[in-house]
Amino acid sequence: MLLKYRTFELKLKHPFKITRGVRTSNWVVLIEIEHDGIVGYGEASPSPRYGESIETVQNFLKSVDLSKFDDPFQIEDILNYVDSIQPGNTSAKAGIDIALHDLIGKILNVPLYKIFGLNKEKTPVTSFTIGIDEPEVIERKVEEAEEYPILKVKLGLENDEEIIKTIRKMTDKKIRVDANEGWKTKEIALEKIKWLQDQGVEFVEQPMPADDLDSVAWVRDKVDIPIIADENCVRLWDVPNLGKAYDGINIKLMKCTGIREAIKMINTARAMNMKVMLGCMIESSVGITAGAQISPLVDYADLDGNLLITNDPFEGVKVKNGKLILPDEPGLGVKKLF
């Protein structure tokens, strides 16, 4: 098998602001794995929050030698080898995982969701993300999200109430909140979440820093809406410890090394009676479609990273009235545009 990759700059429709900063574009690494003339596509969208960058992804991929494998169906052996090269590097590993799954689907001439025995009609409705911004920009974003019945709203700074009030003036749509670790004390988090309950918010994601699990548990005992772990939930080994503080987890392929581990995390969370959400980074339709292929397994989806960009180099999963519509082509079902 031959591994190839290239960097690509995804351009955002709007500056995207969360508690950790603002950006106007996002660099990703587009990956190809070729076997007997068939090419599988993957993507790595690195996050500094998890110790990655475009440079670390490229350096990691340089160290991967797939020529020692001549059977792409030996996915356990291949991905165990990839995971053993270095710790971390989760998005780089996810890119390889995604490309391998695309490849075996194409070899079998079967869509990925069918390989996993899933019903494409059971895909969830994805939320549409609105970043932290000024009221007039928030209003424009709400208008642009007209087709999406669920809004995911980034909070965690000083203008939280202003953002929610601006949205509630325009719509009574379902709102999910992501604070991205922005509320630094349990008292602040409790006050914020109690207010958000009254605004009809469905759940709150990662209200406090990931290293303060006890404070999240304290808050959860005093509120009436679910709290979902994101930054606290990176890989499979994180999940068993989260039940004491969280009602659910947000799995992202770029955090967890890809589809193979995501399914293990879903099954573990289910055994703990926890809700499961599939999220994403800013990604092209390669990464988003990969997540969408296993979305019938989860309760919530936030798979909109490709909807926030202007220059998607692929097409794949579609969205109709917010619902994820899976392609029927083999593998991921994505088509390379440029």
Residue list, annotated binding site for Mg(2+): 178, 205, 230
Cα–Cα distance for residue pair 26/210, rounded to 1 Å: 24
Cα–Cα distance for residue pair 259/203, rounded to 1 Å: 25
Cα–Cα distance for residue pair 268/171, rounded to 1 Å: 36
The catalytic position among 154, 173, 186, 192 is 154
CA distance to 20, 130, 189, per residue, from 155 (Å) = 11, 9, 11
Using a 10 angstrom Cβ sphere, with 0-12 exposed, 13-18 middle and 19 or more buried, the burial of residue 85 is middle
Is residue 93 part of the annotated active site? The answer reads no
Using a 10 angstrom Cβ sphere, with 0-12 exposed, 13-18 middle and 19 or more buried, the burial of residue 33 is buried
The catalytic position among 106, 173, 186, 252 is 252
Name the CA dihedral angle for 147, 197, 123, 27, rounded to a multiple of 10 degrees: 70
Is residue 252 part of the annotated active site? The answer reads yes
Binding residues: 178, 205, 230
* Residue 27 phi, psi dihedral angles, 5° rounding: -85, 135
Gyration radius (Cα) of the chain, Å? 19
Cα–Cα distance for residue pair 149/3, rounded to 1 Å: 40
- Tokens coding 44: 């790595």
As annotated, the active-site residues are 154, 252
